[in-house]
């Protein structure tokens, strides 16, 4: 009886000790990565598809060695990374280098999580200004682009030929509409895209929105209404399937891959998959309303240096970032990621290696940052109202005009 | 049954006075250490409850009462704003539709799940050949991960390539935009949710049916009752306690359904299938810029609703216990 009681007690003490130890472990892990741990530098990236044997991780290790530090790298899912970075910052536990999706940069900067390139003496002079603008807010730059992607129109050569459409003639909306009518008349399907109720939907809508001359600061301008009406009419006339309302860019690509569609709006990252399509395809830039190339939004990541308590860590971090964004390394990285480089020199090298990329380099050249025009952290709020309006119009619950007017007043209230 | 327990407890009460005499002899051995051991055993449970229930609830409440921006979230200096988040949520044009959808979604799901589950339970209670196998098959929806069933439903209900529209086409019916039309999206997610909820109702009601002594049915049959009479006069009233818990658990479960809706429609198009649960997620995590405060406020409203129904259930159960 007595020994049983003692066993109970030891068990209890052991459990209590466990709980305490658990707490201590939690604390100590917080301390170690926050403070200077010799020469260990943490890098977070949104490329979980790369493991330690990949060229990307080897490049990180090599850059670390060159800067005289050891690099520990963690790959996160891109949708996870924003919250992870915010939480880490809240606990003074930020990584030394953070590679993050470009529309998130202004949000993290607003939260005071990121250092400016001025503070950390990062050179951004070689970067294309339209790509760099996604990482700028209030006249300051918060990172260096590592690569860019954007949207264009993939087309099925056989379907266009059968309908008698010359892809070179598709330089404005009228020509595109005429082509879609011909394709549908020939018994094929017109165009597929993604109008899902998330950021992806806004990303896909922006080339048409900007291509009409509309501005994100005024959603319900006549130009904006024209862009929504273009999409709505496609659905009404059967030029685009009703499923676009729930399509992600991946499901939209699968529809195109079925071979029935003439066009698909999709991104640079599908270039590798396009080779597996099983039919001849081509790529044209998205036309603007009255001709010319419509500005598509830029995708791709920025390399940033989060704020640290010990500012002396920035020196090594700066070396790491400079190494990652040097011309040679950019070429290798952007080839692996199927991205277009952010500097003109490397873009020229990419086209020399693979002439197919020319159309993408042009598209990236015409592309625009979503958070540019000093929208910054207002962009997510505007974007949410915009994708809602597009969905409302496409599903027929509101007219384009009414949907955008409502979106504009909601966005104005949210960004006040 | 109850009279026997009563006599048993009376016996215990009669023996009670003898106890104090037995106790002191044991006390010195256990004494204070026994209490310490008791606390030590309690501690892990307490720590668990505090870490995983009390603290998150407190945090959620705290989130909903402060004005969080990304900046104040990181700096930890969000100002206290009282009920402003709740006011903002209630005044939001999405609030009324979301509330209506939640009520419709929950009520329709419960009625259909319970009705179909009850019918199936009575059906399988006949113990025909293969009934066990068929019953096992009905459990499949329950065993599948929600992401699998929800994705499958969204493929089946796809406007262009979905099997449901193909089938309707064979019957000569025009295709329906199940997930992309504001008139149908709520119905579609209800259908999927009912399909997932039937097994749960079936299992609970079936086990309830097995608790009804067969003699009652025999006696009723001797009295010359019809099948319908037997169901409405015997089965249904005798199943009332089981039905109550089935409906309550179903209610709490359905109120918080989020995954199915999010995977199938993301609450759209144009908020036509948004419920309070998906709206709360949408606010907190659905856009690039999280709105933790209003998101937490919506979540708390849901918790309060579930809690209110829980109290109703306890009330009802107590009254039933009194009359039984």
Element (H, E) at A99: strand A97-101
Q: Using one digit for the tens of pLDDT, what is the confidence trace for B134-177? A: 888 888 888 888 889 998 998 898 877 788 888 888 888 888 88
Q: How far apart are CA A149 and CA A249, in angstroms?
A: 14
* Whether residue B100 is found in the same domain as residue B58: no
Instruction: Name the minimum distance, in Å, from the CA of B301 to any CA of chain A.
Output: 22
Q: Which of residues 367-406 of A touch B (CB under 8 A)?
A: 377, 379-381, 383-384, 388, 391-392, 394-398, 403
Degrees, nearest 5: CA angle B184-B176-B149: 70
* Whether residue B20 is found in the same domain as residue B148: no
**A172 DSSP 8-state letter:** S
| Cross-chain CB nearest to A5 (options B34, B70, B160) | B34
- On the question of pLDDT at A401 being above 90, the answer is yes
What CATH number labels A151-297+373-414? 3.40.190.10
- On the question of pLDDT at A288 being above 70, the answer is yes
The DSSP result for A288-350, as a single string, is PTTSSBPPPBPB-EEEE-B--SSGGGHHHHHHHHHHHTSHHHHHHHHHHHT-B-SBHHHHHHH
Instruction: Name the minimum distance, in Å, from the CA of A364 to any CA of chain B.
Output: 23
pLDDT, averaged across chain A: 84
At A96 the pLDDT is 92
**What are the mean pLDDT values of chain B's consecutive 10-residue runs (324 residues total)?**
42 44 48 81 91 89 84 80 85 88 92 92 83 83 87 87 86 85 89 90 90 87 84 86 87 87 86 89 80 88 86 79 52
Element (H, E) at A109: helix A102-110
Q: Do B36 and A2 touch (CB under 8 A)?
A: no
| Cross-chain CB nearest to B37 (options A8, A104, A243) | A8
Instruction: Name the minimum distance, in Å, from the CA of B53 to any CA of chain A.
Output: 16
- What burial class does residue B297 get, using C-beta atoms within 10 Å of its C-beta: 0-12 exposed, 13-18 middle, 19+ buried? buried
* Whether residue B21 is found in the same domain as residue B159: no
The answer as to whether B56 is a domain residue is yes
* Whether residue B164 is found in the same domain as residue B300: yes
- On the question of pLDDT at A193 being above 90, the answer is yes
Instruction: Name the minimum distance, in Å, from the CA of B71 to any CA of chain A.
Output: 4
User: Which residues of chain B does A375 touch, with a Cβ-Cβ cutoff of 8 Å?
Assistant: none
The answer as to whether B70 is a domain residue is no
- On the question of pLDDT at A34 being above 50, the answer is no
| Cross-chain CB nearest to B269 (options A82, A111, A391) | A391
Q: How far apart are CA B240 and CA B251, in angstroms?
A: 16
A145 at interface of B, judged by CB pairs closer than 8 A: no
* Whether residue B40 is found in the same domain as residue B99: no
Q: Are A337 and A305 in contact (CB under 8 A)?
A: no
At A112 the pLDDT is 86
Q: Do A108 and B70 touch (CB under 8 A)?
A: yes
* Whether residue B47 is found in the same domain as residue B165: no
* Whether residue B153 is found in the same domain as residue B116: yes
* Whether residue B51 is found in the same domain as residue B97: no
User: Which residues of chain A does B166 touch, with a Cβ-Cβ cutoff of 8 Å?
Assistant: none
Closest CA to B71 of A305, A109, A138, A92: A109
Residue that has been written with the tokens 């007219």 in this structure: A399
* Whether residue B135 is found in the same domain as residue B224: yes
Mutate to test the interface with B, among A1, A17, A197 (most CBs of B within 10 A): A197
Degrees, nearest 5: CA angle A355-A359-A365: 120
Q: Which of residues 201-260 of A touch B (CB under 8 A)?
A: 241-243, 245-246, 255
At B31 the pLDDT is 56
- On the question of pLDDT at A84 being above 60, the answer is yes
Q: Do B40 and A5 touch (CB under 8 A)?
A: no
Does CATH number 2.60.40.10 belong to domain A37-145+301-338?
Answer: no
Q: Do B180 and A243 touch (CB under 8 A)?
A: yes
Total domain count for chain B?
A: 2
| Cross-chain CB nearest to B265 (options A2, A246, A255) | A246
Q: Do B70 and A197 touch (CB under 8 A)?
A: no
The answer as to whether B83 is a domain residue is no
Judged by DSSP in three states, A265 sits in: strand
Q: Are A180 and A191 in contact (CB under 8 A)?
A: yes
Instruction: Name the minimum distance, in Å, from the CA of A15 to any CA of chain B.
Output: 7
Q: Which residue has the higher pLDDT, B303 or A272?
A: B303
* Whether residue B28 is found in the same domain as residue B119: no
- On the question of pLDDT at A19 being above 60, the answer is no
Q: Do B70 and A16 touch (CB under 8 A)?
A: no
B181 at interface of A, judged by CB pairs closer than 8 A: yes
Q: Do B288 and A380 touch (CB under 8 A)?
A: yes
Q: Do B285 and A110 touch (CB under 8 A)?
A: no
Beta strand A136-137 with A140-141: parallel, antiparallel or unpaired?
antiparallel
Q: Do A241 and B159 touch (CB under 8 A)?
A: yes
pTM of the predicted structure, to 2 decimals: 0.79
Q: How far apart are CA A102 and CA A127, in angstroms?
A: 14
CATH code of the domain containing B257: 1.10.3720.10
Say which range, A5-9, A32-36, A99-103, B101-105, has the weakest mean pLDDT: A32-36
Mutate to test the interface with A, among B268, B271, B282, B292 (most CBs of A within 10 A): B268
Residue B227: domain span = 92-323
A283 at interface of B, judged by CB pairs closer than 8 A: no
């Amino acid at each position: 009886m007595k020994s049983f009681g003692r066993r109970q007690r030891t068990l209890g003490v052991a459990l209590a000790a466990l709980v305490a130890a658990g707490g201590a472990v939690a604390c100590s892990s917080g301390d170690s990565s926050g403070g200077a741990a010799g020469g260990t530098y943490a890098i977070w990236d949104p490329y979980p598809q790369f493991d330690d044997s990949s060229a990307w991780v080897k490049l990180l290790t090599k850059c670390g060695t060159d800067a005289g530090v050891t690099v520990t790298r963690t790959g996160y899912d891109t949708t996870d990374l924003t919250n992870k970075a915010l939480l880490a910052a809240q606990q003074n536990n930020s990584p030394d280098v953070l590679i993050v999706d470009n529309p998130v940069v202004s949000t993290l900067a607003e939260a005071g999580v990121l250092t400016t390139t001025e503070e950390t003496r990062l050179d951004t002079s070689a970067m294309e200004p339209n790509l760099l603008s996604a990482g700028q807010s209030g006249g300051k730059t918060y990172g260096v682009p590592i690569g860019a992607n954007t949207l264009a129109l993939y087309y099925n050569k056989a379907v266009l030929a059968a309908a008698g459409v010359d892809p070179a003639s598709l330089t404005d909306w009228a020509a595109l509409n005429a082509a879609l009518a011909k394709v549908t008349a020939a018994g094929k399907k017109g165009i597929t895209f993604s109008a899902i109720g998330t950021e992806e939907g806004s990303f896909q809508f922006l080339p048409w929105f900007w291509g009409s001359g509309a501005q994100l600061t005024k959603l319900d301008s006549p130009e904006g209404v024209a862009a929504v009406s273009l999409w709505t009419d496609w659905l009404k006339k059967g030029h685009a399937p009703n499923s676009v309302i729930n399509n992600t860019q991946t499901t939209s690509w699968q529809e195109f891959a079925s071979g029935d569609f003439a066009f698909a709006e999709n991104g640079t990252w599908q270039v590798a998959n396009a080779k597996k399509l099983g039919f001849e395809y081509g790529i044209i830039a998205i036309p603007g309303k009255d001709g010319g190339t419509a500005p598509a939004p830029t995708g791709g990541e920025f390399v940033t240096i989060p704020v640290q308590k010990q500012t002396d860590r920035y020196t090594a971090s700066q070396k790491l970032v400079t190494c990652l964004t040097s011309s040679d390394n950019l070429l290798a990285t952007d080839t692996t990621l199927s991205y277009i480089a952010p500097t003109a020199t490397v873009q020229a090298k990419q086209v020399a290696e693979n002439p197919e990329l020319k159309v993408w380099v042009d598209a990236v050249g015409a592309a625009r940052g979503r958070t540019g025009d000093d929208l910054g952290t207002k962009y997510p709020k505007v974007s949410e109202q915009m994708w809602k309006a597009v969905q409302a119009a496409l599903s027929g619950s509101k007219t384009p005009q009414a949907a955008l007017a409502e979106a504009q007043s909601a966005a104005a209230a949210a960004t006040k | 049954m109850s009279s026997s327990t009563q006599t048993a407890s009376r016996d215990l009460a009669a023996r009670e006075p003898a106890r104090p005499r037995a106790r002191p002899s044991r006390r010195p051995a256990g004494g204070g250490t026994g209490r310490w051991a008791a606390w030590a055993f309690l501690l892990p449970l307490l720590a668990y409850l505090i870490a995983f229930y009390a603290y998150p609830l407190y945090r959620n409440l705290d989130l909903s009462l402060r004005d969080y921006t990304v900046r104040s979230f990181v700096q930890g200096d969000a100002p206290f704003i009282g009920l402003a988040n709740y006011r903002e949520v209630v005044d939001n044009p999405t609030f009324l539709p979301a509330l209506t959808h939640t009520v419709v979604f929950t009520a329709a799901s419960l009625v259909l799940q319970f009705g179909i589950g009850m019918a199936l339970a009575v059906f399988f209670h006949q113990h025909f050949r293969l009934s066990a196998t068929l019953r096992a098959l009905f459990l499949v929806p329950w065993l599948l991960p929600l992401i699998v069933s929800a994705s499958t439903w969204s493929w089946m209900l796809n406007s262009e390539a979905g099997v449901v529209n193909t089938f309707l086409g064979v019957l000569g019916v025009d295709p329906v935009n199940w997930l992309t039309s504001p008139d149908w999206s709520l119905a579609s997610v209800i259908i999927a949710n009912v399909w997932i909820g039937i097994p749960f109702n079936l299992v609970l009601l079936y086990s309830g049916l097995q608790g009804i002594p067969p003699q009652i049915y025999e006696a009723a049959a001797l009295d010359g009752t019809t099948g319908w009479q037997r169901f409405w006069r015997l089965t249904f009233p005798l199943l009332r306690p089981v039905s109550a818990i089935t409906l309550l658990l179903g209610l709490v479960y359905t109120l918080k359904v989020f995954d199915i809706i999010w995977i199938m429609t993301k609450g759209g198009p144009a908020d036509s299938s948004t419920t309070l649960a998906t709206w709360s997620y949408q606010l907190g995590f659905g856009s690039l810029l999280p709105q933790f405060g209003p998101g937490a406020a919506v979540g708390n409203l849901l918790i309060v609703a579930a809690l209110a129904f829980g109290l109703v259930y306890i009330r009802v159960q107590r009254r039933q216990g009194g009359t039984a």
